[in-house]
Chains A and B, each alone.
Chain A
Amino acid sequence: MNGLSVENLRVEIAGAGDRRFLPVDGVDFTVGADQCVALLGESGCGKSMTALALMRLLPEGGRVTAGEVNLQGDDLFALAESAMGGVRGGRLAMIFQEPQTSLNPVMSVAEQIGEALAAHRGLAGAVARAEAGRLLEAVGLQTDRLDAYPFQLSGGQRQRALIAMMLAGEPEVLIADEPTTALDVTVQAQILDLLKDLRSTRGMGLLLITHDLDVAREMTLGPNDRVAVMYAGQIVEWAPSAGLYAAPRHPYTQKLFAVLPRLDRRGERLDSLPGKVPAPDAVFAGCRFAERCPAVFQRCRVEIPGFHEVVPGHFARCHLAEAAANPSLSPYGGFGKGEIEGIPGRVEVVAAANPTQTPISPNGGVTKEGSEPSVLEISDLAVHFPIRKGLLKRTVGHVKAVDGVSLAVAAGETLALVGESGCGKTTLARAVLRLIEPSSGTVRLCGESLAGLKGEALRRKRAQMQIVFQDPFSSLNPRMRVGDILEEGMAALLPELDRIGRAHRAADLLDQVGLPTDAAGRYPHEFSGGQRQRIAIARALAVNPKLLILDEPTSALDVSVQAQILNLLADLRREHGLAYLFISHNLSVVGYLADRVAVMREGRILECGSAEQIFNRPAIDYTRLLLDSAPGQV
């Protein structure tokens, strides 16, 4: 057998007490030479645990309880740990998500690659250095980067260096665990291209682990490539990407496509996937997806579905697929083509879409863009951070994080600010909120300038704009109860409310964002990421703002949760006539939600126009590059 084959892999983790978790429960797949298999799934589906089990790097308390992993005829689970050390990083290599932490900060690139060369190929000295240089060239880095230290490299370069290190052992199969999640979209495109090239030039198998449907599609365009969709520790669908993306067969996969925000779904409500992933220690009598499945029927709850081949090469773990595989068996028929929605692809947007996304003025009338008074007007805003050096900390220069930005957001309008990391978009948001003092320029909120406002006046102004942060884990104080978190802003900004009034309003808000009312008495850690983001939104809404600054509000969330949050944001916009300043790097979300888009780079706005214009007729090259870099376009 060529490449890597995994049979009936089961992983168990001992939890507190006698609890046993089964994050991976019977997974089979093969990765041949020059083949890419994408393991696709949301967080908690067991995809990373599968990879760690293959590498025999399971965390404390985890062990493989069943299954066999074969690499080129060698049973990996039968190897002694010393022999496994030779395989790991050699014949079977893995790259991780976080290029920041997977390189040793005090060793130069050459030293780190040299270590791998010495361990797996016995090279040392000048030979090793020459080989390291060749590897760097193979991953698209200059050889003069050999003596660089990780901090001297950008995120993309670091990921390249890491890949070079992993290539040192000439792996037969490379496992890439979310290799581009931490990277900007243009860099992501480059790294994905690099992986594709390396795969075909070296005849390497590639196991790509990702949560991103587009990345999975981008990487599995070849005829041999497969996508495996994982859910609750099992592979629920296995298919070549052409088949999968044209006609997903498992209801879960269909839902995943349906919840994706896209330009062409503007104004529509996104489909939602109710419920949540079953706990890893749940016991199943029937189908694992039954609780959330829109097509569930009696048999699903009592009988575990088999893995049926719907069309040649396309398997799905669903009772309906059995019917589809043998139409004669089924009273239900199979899947009609009509049931399958949301097949992505780049769709030209017809302008003047749905009325729901036309700006709505506070008095309910639909108004034309431009005649609306601006909620937020930014003109020539600049934020410069001084660079201080020496004993006396003299200022020797400035970092121009935001360098003369002018923008306006009308009432009820959503303006998206798009840009790659380091372009200054977050600094801009903080300067607007006066969390950072701007160096120059003015910010006018509802016609009134914020500059020079102090004390009480500034506080009253703050009630009109609020912010929702990216990371729902660090944006809520872990030691305050949710009720107190919601009431804090009210206590500061709505002094007319007394304690009881605040508690009522908090209960109201929780209801509005779709959380149970008893949430007020609990602590943030008891909630999932999506629920926490709802709490953060409720907190921002607590003081009746007119403008909400959303700083990457969904980028830390799974796609199904992201859809719920986006729906919530759309609802709130409609109900309260809120204006959004939506900061994001995710173009499909922007395309779905935004009325107008501003493209930012190196502290300046390069282009600003309606969403339709930016996406279909970008005026500048940089915007075009951003759009073209988005993965998954066919």
Chain B
Amino acid sequence: MSFKPVLLWSDALILLLLAVVAAGVWLLRHNETFRAPLRQVLASRMGSATALILAVYVGIGLLDSLHYVERLPDEPGKAAQYSGEVKSALDKLLSPLRENVEKTYSAPFATHLYAKETMTGPDGREVRDYPRLKHGGAHLADPDQEFWPDVLKRGGLGVLGGMVCWTLLILPLWQRGRTHSALAWTLLCILVVTGLLVALAPHYHVLGTDKVGQDVLYLSLKSVRTGLLIGTLTTLVVLPLAIGLGIAAGYFGGRVDDVIQYLYTTLNSIPGVLLIAAAVLVVQVQIEAHPELFDTAAARADMRLLALCGILGLTGWTGLARLLRAETLKLRELEFVQAARAFGVSRMRILARHLLPNVMHLVLITVVIDFSGLVLAEAVLSYVGVGVDPAMISFGNMINGARLELAREPVVWWQLVAAFLFMFVLVLAANLFADQVRDALDPKARGRA
């Protein structure tokens, strides 16, 4: 075997999450209360289109979560040796991108470096000029002449390929009348873009390169996993705390309420960044004190990421909890809750059946807004130096790198734009999708859709 799978902690969590979701769907597959909203979301134009986009992101994230180490060439007489560098399935797929490293910055589609260098010309004279790139457009003999025809040819082929794939995929569905236009158009867009990238990316740096010459497209794709992880894991920490404490405070009142209010007022009165910075530093010290626990750099970075999610979650639940407390205070006086109490329905059931579903819209909206906030928070924290591991590829680190170069003349804009583009599509799709889910969960709005 030439490789060995590696299970990082975050991979394990992702697998667990997937298993839980799959089991939930399996158990609820006959439950009408669960299926009807789901069907409505997927049947709506916006719902199906955004679900597809999210699925692409999740797919990239999942591919990037299948980690392995490569086996080093056998040395006779020794046990098998493995590389210390952890790679993922996505790395394997993108290996041309990963390996085509330039010296430093280059603009999107550039054939020359972004900085002048002193070169020795064929005639032996030293000149200062922009050198050709090692990989980007390296196959062109005369970039000035051949650049456009080559890009158009390859691009055209890519678009064509994407369309062919689309036709093959969509035709059988279309014949059975199982699909509708919004979904089909989204799929077309995704496939055409993918086709373009597949055709062009191996030969050009479609989104340019960064300071150490890494392909920005590669960095952006790798950042997706980090972003999704931070968003999802933090939300998973926040939700039980916020929902449990918020509703409990509102419903039970009295001492319970006092304690919970005290808790979140205290948490809120400490500056967030300071608290997070302190916690991250503690974790960092712990990680450094026990190097034996982490056999690779990736494992170390991963642990730091998890710690960050945990800390963001532990400090981030107060806003939602306060919102839920207020809403619950209002709801618990409503007569349907009183009626349930008159039936002697247990408190837990009242919380779960009567209160939770009626605050779910608030939870959903807040979670989606927080999700985008978290991806951004990561950038801020990386700036302060307490974000994810600097070696880890993330939107935060990308933006930080770009920030330093914005003052440069001429400006290096592509890193920022790439990060922005990828985040924008993700956050927008998540927002629109959440809107659909909220409408579908509301029986009143359901009739309207």
Q: Residues on A close to B: CB < 8 A?
A: 16, 430, 433, 435, 458-459, 462-463, 465-467, 469-471, 474-481, 488-489, 492-493, 523-526, 536, 539-540, 543
Could you tell me if B336 and A476 are in contact, using CB atoms closer than 8 angstroms? yes
A489 to B344, CA, bound (A): 8
Please determine whether A525 and B443 come into contact, CB atoms closer than 8 angstroms: yes
Docked pose: A243 CA to B59 CA in angstroms: 78
Contact (A543, B443) CB under 8 Å given A16-B448, A471-B335: no
B339–A492 CB distance below 8 A: no
Q: Are B343 and A493 in contact (CB under 8 A)?
A: yes
A70, B427: Cα distance in complex, Å: 56
Q: Which of A435, A526, A543 has a CB less than 8 Å from the CB of B338?
A: A435
B54 to chain A, nearest CB (A): 25
Stretch from B39-47, B151-159, B352-360 forming part of the interface with A: B352-360
| Pair B448/A475 contact, Cβ less than 8 Å | no
Closest Cβ–Cβ distance, residue A26 to chain B (whole Å): 30
Query: A523 contacts B443, CB within 8 Å?
Result: yes
Other than A465-B342, A492-B349, A536-B339, give 10 A-B pairs with Cβ distance below 8 A. A435-B338, A469-B338, A475-B339, A479-B357, A479-B441, A479-B442, A479-B443, A480-B353, A480-B357, A524-B443
A42 vs chain B, min Cβ distance (A): 23
Contact between A469 and B444, CB atoms less than 8 A apart:
no
Neighbouring B residues of A543 by C-beta, 8 Å: 343
| B345 nearest in chain A by CB position | A492
A364 to B336 Cα, complex, angstroms: 34
Tell me the smallest distance from the CB of B67 to a CB of chain A, in Å. 42
Cβ-based interface call for B71 (8 A)? no
Which of B339, B354, B443 interacts with A467 by CB under 8 Å? Answer: B339
Contact with A along B327-339 (1 / 0, CB 8 A): 0000000111011
User: B336 and A475: CB pair below 8 A?
Assistant: yes
In the complex, the answer to whether B358 meets A477 with C-beta atoms within 8 Å is yes
Task: Assess the B343–A462 pair: CB atoms within 8 A.
Answer: yes
Residues of A within 8 A of B120 (CB): none
A-B contacts at CB below 8 angstroms, number: 72
B169–chain A nearest beta-carbon distance, Å:
33
Say if the beta carbon of B340 comes within 8 Å of chain A: yes
Cα distance A467–B335 when bound, in Å? 10
Residues of chain A within 8 A (CB-CB) of B346 are: 492
- In the complex, chain B residues whose CB is within 8 Å of the CB of A435: 338, 341-342
Decide: B335 and A469 in contact? CB cutoff 8 A. Answer: yes
Is B343 within 8 A of A474, CB to CB? no
Q: A523-B443, A525-B443, A525-B444 are in contact. Are A477 and B354 (CB under 8 A)?
A: yes
Establish whether residues A430 and B338, one from each chain, have CB atoms under 8 Å apart when the complex forms: yes
Partner of B443, one of A458, A471, A474, A478: A478
B118 lies within 8 A of chain A by Cβ? no
Contacts of B338 in A (CB 8 A): 430, 435, 467, 469
Contact between A474 and B336, CB atoms less than 8 A apart: yes
Ordered by A's residue number, 9 sampled pairs between the chains whose C-beta atoms are within 8 Å are A459-B344, A467-B342, A477-B336, A477-B340, A478-B444, A480-B353, A489-B343, A489-B345, A492-B346
Residue in B closest to A542 when the chains form the complex, CB atoms: B343
B33 at interface, CB cutoff 8 A: yes
A488 and B339 alpha carbons, distance in the complex (Å): 10
Give Cα distance in the complex from A478 to B334, angstroms.
Answer: 11
A-facing residues in B34-66 (Cβ within 8 Å): none
Nearest A-chain residue to B336, judged by Cβ: A477
What residue in chain B is nearest A523 (Cβ atoms)? B443
A539–B444 contact, CB under 8 A?
no
Contact A539 B339 (CB under 8 A): yes
Contacts known (A467-B342, A475-B335); A488 close to B353, Cβ less than 8 A: yes
State A493–B336 Cα separation when bound (angstroms): 17
Q: A476-B336, A479-B357, A481-B33 are in contact. Are A466 and B448 (CB under 8 A)?
A: no
Residue from B342, B358, B441 within 8 A of A433 (CB atoms): B342
B343 close to A492 (CB less than 8 A):
yes
Report yes or no: A479 in contact with B344, Cβ–Cβ below 8 A.
Answer: no
Min CB distance, A554 to chain B, in Å?
15
Expressed in whole angstroms, the Cα–Cα distance for A469 and B336 within the complex equals 9
Listed residue (B336, B340, B349, B448) with the most chain A CB atoms within 10 angstroms of its CB? B336
> A475 CA to B357 CA in the complex, in Å?
15
Nearest CB of chain B from residue A559's CB, rounded to whole Å: 23
State the CA gap A244–B346 with chains docked (Å).
Answer: 55
Q: Which residue on B lies nearest to A549, using beta carbons?
A: B342
Residues of A within 8 A of B340 (CB): 477, 488
Q: Are B344 and A477 in contact (CB under 8 A)?
A: no
Residues from chain B with a CB closer than 8 A to the CB of A458 are 344
From residue A529, how far is it (CB to closest CB) to chain B in Å?
14
CB neighbours (8 Å) of A540 from chain B are 339
A-contacting residues, B292-335, CB 8 Å: 334-335
Residues 252-268 of chain B, each 1 if its beta carbon lies under 8 Å from chain A, else 0: 00000000000000000
- Interface set, chain B 341-395, CB cutoff 8 A to A: 341-346, 349, 353-354, 357-358
Chain B residues, CB < 8 A from A525: 443-444
The minimal Cβ–Cβ distance linking A408 to chain B, given in whole angstroms, is 21
Residues of A within 8 A of B353 (CB): 477, 480, 488
Measured between C-beta atoms, what is the minimum distance from B37 to chain A in Å? Answer: 11
- Whether the Cβ atoms of A469 and B339 lie closer than 8 Å is yes
Q: Is the CB of B335 within 8 A of A474?
A: yes
